[in-house]
Amino acid sequence: MRERQTGDRLGIYIHIPFCRGKCDYCDFYSLAGREDGMDRCQRALLAHLKESAFAARGCVVDTVYFGGGTPSFYGARRLKELLSAVKKHYHVDRNAEITFEANPDSADFKTLRALRRAGFNRVSLGLQSACSAELEAVHRPHTVEQGDEAVAAARRAKLSNLSLDLIYGLPGQTMASWRTTVEHALSLAPEHLSCYGLKVEEGTPLAARAAAGEVLPDDDTQADMYLWTVDRLAQAGYEQYEISNFAKPGFASRHNLRYWRMEPYIGFGPGAHSDFGGRRYAWIRDLEGYARGVLEGGRLLDSEELIPQEERSGEYLMLRLRTTQGIEEWEYRGRYFMDFSPIQERLERFQARGWAEQADGRWRFTPRGFLVSNQLIGDLLERQERSRLSELLPRVREQFGGRRTE
């Protein structure tokens, strides 16, 4: 960590890389069968939190997020100890959102109650599917019944901000079974739902299965699932605020929103990323390497870069257009001193195709636009770069064009 920022609202992310088992689709940095490394990881995390606190002096931490891996599998004692260290070394807002991820097989009442009493106030539960065959197909470590029990345990523990993760496009999944999953999730009355389309990531067991000829739901089927989900969740009172995220009013994930709003955050743990002090950086993606870097002074950084303002303007388009808040002309002009006209021209074309809409001066993608958002954003970034160069070249010619060499 290089620079101190003052007066900022700050997020903290803590990566817990341990899992009971690795799911076939997962390419996050996570480790199965490595419980022997938990204590050393804990020492490294505690030390890293303490030694990094100086850089955040003057910042107010308003979100803390424990992700993974499976934080609930790490155990309540360790999670409580880490949260205590955050509160000791950082200025944590009294109304901070403090989230931990959990899988149903490690989210029992005793664990959830202990975490709620320690100050955790939001749980993100990896339900994924309400169909047993689909869970088994990707080697999820829990059953549908365990999912129901975990939700009941969370409510009994007085956790009043519950998010459920669901995946569409799983092996063997049909539109009918996806509807069953969504309806089942709605019956559990969560405050928040994350509905992700399955991506086959290179190097995962699922990628090997697909390469061997296993047939997965195709893009058209996933698109139908997604559009149906947007409509169904709206009917149930959930507001879509990002491509894959839906919440009851007042329950949007404040931590995830800070990523899409380009607000500062610091990450801890192997493979964790940060955006702080004008720099983006990531820690080494290896448990022992991370622990050695923190505890013994070895190499800790995996990557680091200073982000120039023009690149931030591209991030503004990429990240804000993931949200239903979208982008606004004068916000763009005021932040980046760039012409919005080329962007608006493309957005108007997207609007004619039903991919974008304008309301209250802001542009955003429609649900159909979200389906092709990667292509649309790529188009906008290309237009942005052309515009930037067209503005730069006249200034270069003016500055250097009339010079003579002696």
Count the alpha carbons within 13 Å of 168 in the hemisphere toward its beta carbon.
Answer: 28
**Pair 189, 67 in one domain:** yes
Query: What digits encode the pLDDT tens for the residues 86-126?
Result: 999 999 999 999 999 999 999 999 999 999 999 999 999 99
Q: What is the pLDDT of residues 318-344, one digit of tens each?
A: 999 999 999 999 999 999 988 999 999
Residues 6+ apart with CB under 8 A from 348: none
297 within some domain: no
> What pTM was computed for the model?
0.92
Best CA proximity match to 230, nearest among 358, 128, 127, 370: 370
- Residues 45 and 160 occupy one common structural domain: yes
Residues 249 and 323 in one domain: no
Task: Assign residue 378 the CATH number of its domain.
Answer: 1.10.10
Residue 255 CB neighbours (<10 A): 22
Domain count, the chain: 2
51 falls within a domain? yes
Q: Distances in Å between the alpha carbon of 87 and those of 18, 51, 70?
A: 23, 14, 22
Q: Long-range contact list for 177-181, CB < 8 A, 24+ apart?
A: 177/129, 177/131, 177/134, 178/225, 178/228, 178/229, 179/228, 179/232, 180/130, 180/131, 181/129, 181/130, 181/131, 181/134
Q: Which domain holds residue 199?
A: 9-260
Residue 141 falls inside a structural domain = yes
Q: Tell me: do 240 and 153 sit in the same domain.
A: yes
The answer to the question of residue 230 being in a domain is: yes
If asked whether residues 359 and 223 sit together in one domain, one would say no
66 closest CA partner among 143, 121, 146, 147:
121
Q: Does residue 193 register a pLDDT over 70?
A: yes
Residue located via tokens 């089927």? 221
Same domain, 177 and 235: yes
At 390, is the pLDDT very low, low, confident or very high (cuts 50, 70, 90)? Answer: low
Residue that has been written with the tokens 């993760």 in this structure: 165
